[in-house]
């Protein structure tokens, strides 16, 4: 991929920050460690991983220990018992196997959804970082414009005192300076709002931000590559595929409800009774101990279920068809998202390239107008026009660069490449 649109010297000079400034990789690491939305998504996935173990438990040995006591007021009989029982499913007609397959697919779908949740948070981080970077640049541009206009006002006043200028020149520059100060106040307000949004998603106060030295890695090289990667790796599409697999397994699980089951059961009980009344040894009569043990093989065949099993099978089939259609819709959406992100990124790249040329031309034009003004060949209005053209070009370039950064994140998210690894400083430098 041609990186010239990113690494233009003029742009990097304007966007460079001081040593130790906060990078995009720093912001991503902070958000990944502290963002509550991402932490909640991870916790939900941790809970979902237990589904497989719960499904396996349906085919494992279970045991119970129970007890009770009784008192008969009329016969004055009292007693107590303790019973231990165990059951082991031997054959479940496919219930356990299909439940485990469905649970595994559910867990896999959750992993893909977690990947997209991480990508969504990282996309928010990139958007907040890019917007804050833009607003910081806007304040810097407005400050530079005020400084330039103040210098021009001083020069115009000096020329007026020498009789080579007019009061109108001074007033024009003064008015433009006041307008620049108003614009700077608005820029600082926008900067405060962007900083608040940054704190909300990253979890800490921002420093002076800098643009990455190179594009994010693993960007597709073309539109066809973007489509291919989206179909292969888009996390929401992968989740839809796993959900369809789980739905198919639940069809088998519903059918298994109509099949026979075989199990092994055993129990052992111990009881004590004493003080039997008229039916026993009389009041205060001697009691006795009782013990009972049993073991056996059980065989259960669902003969008549009132249509419940058949209804559940039809329901599972319908849900499976719906999951398949959702998978197809997710495939279309993944391709659409990749195409849209690619188009937006290409537009941002074109704007950056045009903006670099515009800033260079506007800078030369302003320098030339100021030189000609000092020789009396240009008017104050010419300086104002040239200065405004330069500041507009600088702001447009900063906005295009911000859009390019968010466009990269959107394209990586659509193609399944937006993760913490995409923001590692070494990965960005090697891109």
Q: How many residues does the chain have?
A: 431
Q: Report DSSP letters for 162-227, one per residue.
A: HTSS-HHHHHHHHHHHHHHHHHHHHHHHHHHHHHHHHHHHHSS----B---SSPPTT--SSHHHHH
Mean pLDDT on 120-149: 93
What phi and psi, each to the nearest 5 degrees, are found at residue 192? -65, -40
Categorize the per-residue pLDDT at 76 as very low, low, confident or very high, splitting at 50, 70 and 90: low
User: Cα 197–199–201 angle (5° rounding)?
Assistant: 75
Q: Using N-to-C axis directions, what is the helix angle for 95-162 and 167-202, rounded to 10°? A: 160
Does pLDDT of 104 surpass 90?
yes
Does pLDDT of 287 surpass 90?
no
Categorize the per-residue pLDDT at 20 as very low, low, confident or very high, splitting at 50, 70 and 90: low
* Residues 235 and 112 sit within 8 Å (Cβ to Cβ): yes
- CA dist 161 and 155 (Å) reads 10
- CA dist 93 and 241 (Å) reads 26
* Residues 430 and 217 sit within 8 Å (Cβ to Cβ): yes
Per-residue confidence (pLDDT) for residue 16, from 0 to 100: 41
Categorize the per-residue pLDDT at 44 as very low, low, confident or very high, splitting at 50, 70 and 90: very high
Q: Which domains does the chain have, with CATH numbers?
A: 9-61+92-261+303-430 (1.20.1600.10)
- CA dist 32 and 121 (Å) reads 8
Counting residues of the chain whose pLDDT is more than 70, the rounded percentage is 89
Mean pLDDT of the chain: 87
Does pLDDT of 282 surpass 80?
no
Q: Position of tokens 């800098």? A: 210
Does pLDDT of 70 surpass 80?
no
Does pLDDT of 42 surpass 50?
yes
Categorize the per-residue pLDDT at 286 as very low, low, confident or very high, splitting at 50, 70 and 90: low
* Residues 109 and 248 sit within 8 Å (Cβ to Cβ): no
Which tokens is 263 given? 């199990």
Q: Report DSSP letters for 282-321, one per residue.
A: -TT---EEEEEEEEEEEEE-----TTHHHHHHHHHHHHHH
pLDDT digits (tens, 9 = 90+) for 168-226: 888 888 888 898 899 999 999 999 999 999 999 999 998 888 888 788 888 999 999 99
Categorize the per-residue pLDDT at 98 as very low, low, confident or very high, splitting at 50, 70 and 90: very high
pLDDT digits (tens, 9 = 90+) for 309-349: 999 999 999 999 999 999 999 999 999 999 999 999 999 99
Per-residue confidence (pLDDT) for residue 54, from 0 to 100: 94
Q: Which of 52, 62, 61 lies closest to 97 in space, CA to CA?
A: 52
Q: How many Cα neighbours within 13 Å face the side chain of 362?
A: 21
DSSP label of 22: B
Q: Which of 311, 420, 401 lies closest to 8 in space, CA to CA?
A: 401
Q: Report DSSP letters for 315-364, one per residue.
A: HHHHHHHHHHHHHHHHHHHHHHHHHHHHHHHHHHHHHHHHHHHHHHHHHH
Categorize the per-residue pLDDT at 19 as very low, low, confident or very high, splitting at 50, 70 and 90: very low
Q: Which of 313, 299, 324 lies closest to 258 in space, CA to CA?
A: 313
Per-residue confidence (pLDDT) for residue 172, from 0 to 100: 84
Does pLDDT of 8 surpass 50?
no
Q: Report DSSP letters for 63-80, one per residue.
A: EEEEEEEEEETTTTEEEE
Per-residue confidence (pLDDT) for residue 237, from 0 to 100: 97
Mean pLDDT on 30-47: 94
Per-residue confidence (pLDDT) for residue 22, from 0 to 100: 84
SS3 274: strand
Does pLDDT of 13 surpass 50?
no
- CA dist 190 and 168 (Å) reads 33
Q: Which residues of 321-348 are buried (b: 16+ CB within 10 A; e: fewer)?
A: eebbebbeebbebbbebbbebbebbeeb
Mean pLDDT on 291-299: 88
Mean pLDDT on 110-119: 96
- CA dist 356 and 118 (Å) reads 33
SS3 423: helix
Does pLDDT of 59 surpass 70?
yes
Tell which wins on pLDDT, 308 or 211: 308
Tell which wins on pLDDT, 226 or 162: 226
Per-residue confidence (pLDDT) for residue 226, from 0 to 100: 96
Mean pLDDT on 229-251: 96
Does pLDDT of 10 surpass 60?
no
DSSP label of 156: H
What phi and psi, each to the nearest 5 degrees, are found at residue 316? -65, -40
Give the bridge partners for 294, in sequence order.
267
């Amino acid at each position: 991929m041609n990186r010239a649109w990113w690494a233009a010297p003029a742009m990097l000079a304007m966007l460079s920050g001081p040593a130790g400034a906060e990078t995009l990789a720093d912001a991503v690491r902070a958000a990944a460690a502290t963002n509550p939305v991402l932490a909640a998504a991870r916790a939900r996935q941790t809970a979902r991983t237990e589904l497989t173990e719960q499904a396996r438990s349906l085919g494992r040995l279970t045991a119970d220990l129970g007890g009770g006591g009784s008192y008969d007021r009329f016969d004055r009989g009292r007693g107590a018992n303790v019973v231990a029982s165990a059951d082991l499913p031997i054959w479940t007609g496919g219930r356990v196997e299909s439940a485990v397959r469905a649970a595994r697919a559910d867990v896999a779908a959750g992993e893909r959804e977690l990947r997209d949740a991480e990508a969504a948070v990282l996309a928010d981080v990139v958007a907040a970082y890019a917007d804050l970077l833009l607003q910081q640049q806007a304040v810097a541009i407005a400050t530079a414009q005020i400084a330039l206009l103040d210098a021009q006002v001083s020069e115009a006043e000096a020329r007026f005192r020498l009789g080579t200028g007019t009061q109108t020149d001074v007033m024009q520059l003064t008015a433009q300076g006041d307008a620049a100060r108003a614009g700077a106040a608005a820029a600082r307000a926008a900067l405060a709002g962007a900083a608040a949004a940054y704190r909300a998603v990253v979890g800490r106060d921002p420093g002076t931000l800098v643009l990455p030295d190179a594009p994010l890695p693993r960007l597709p090289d073309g539109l066809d590559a973007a489509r291919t990667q989206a179909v292969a790796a888009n996390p929401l599409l992968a989740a839809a595929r796993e959900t369809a697999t789980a739905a198919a397994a639940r069809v088998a699980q519903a059918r298994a409800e109509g099949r026979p089951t075989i199990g092994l059961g055993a129990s052992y009980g111990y009881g004590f009774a004493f003080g039997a009344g008229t039916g026993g040894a009389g009041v205060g009569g001697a009691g006795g101990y009782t013990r009972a043990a049993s073991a056996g093989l059980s065989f259960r065949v669902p003969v008549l279920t009132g249509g419940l099993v058949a209804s559940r099978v039809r329901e599972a089939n319908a849900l499976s068809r719906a999951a398949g259609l959702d998978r197809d819709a997710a495939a279309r959406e993944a391709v659409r998202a990749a195409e849209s992100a690619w188009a937006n990124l290409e537009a941002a790249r074109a704007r950056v390239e045009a903006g670099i040329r515009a800033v260079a031309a506007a800078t030369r034009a302003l320098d030339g107008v100021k030189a000609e003004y000092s020789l009396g060949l240009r008017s104050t209005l010419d300086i104002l026009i040239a200065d405004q053209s330069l500041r507009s070009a600088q702001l447009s370039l900063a906005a295009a660069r911000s859009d390019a950064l968010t466009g990269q994140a959107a394209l990586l998210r659509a193609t399944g490449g937006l993760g913490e690894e995409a923001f590692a400083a070494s990965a960005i430098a090697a891109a």
